[in-house]
Amino acid sequence: MRIKLPETDLKSAQSLGSIELKDEGGGHVGQYFFGGRTVFLFGRYKGTFKTHAECQAFIDGVTAVIDGNRGSRGEATS
């Protein structure tokens, strides 16, 4: 699964408040709140960061763990 955090100009985005995050298939996976650069994923993972790169690293880490868990479940049932 791949989730790309869009590059945003935080000064112009303040009026938006947040944007919806989607996976490569277009499914809703979370929310990105501009005020404190807060990422909320899958209804349970939340982090607040100082930079865009930190937000993307958090997203990549969460998806890596989820993808890894899916793979290990498949191996365990085989």
> Residues 3-61: pLDDT tens digits?
988 877 666 656 668 889 999 999 999 999 987 889 999 999 999 999 999 999 999 99
* pLDDT for residue 11: 64
> Per 3-state DSSP, what percentage of the chain is helix, strand, and coil (rounded to 5)?
40, 25, 35
In which band, very low, low, confident or very high, does the pLDDT at 72 lie, cut at 50, 70 and 90? low
For residue 22, the one-letter residue type is K
* pLDDT for residue 4: 85
Q: What are phi and psi of 42, to 5 degrees?
A: 55, 25
In which band, very low, low, confident or very high, does the pLDDT at 78 lie, cut at 50, 70 and 90? very low
- H helix intervals, the chain: 10-13, 52-77
Domain regions of the chain by residue span: 10-71
How many whole angstroms separate alpha carbon 73 and alpha carbon 60? 20
* pLDDT for residue 67: 87
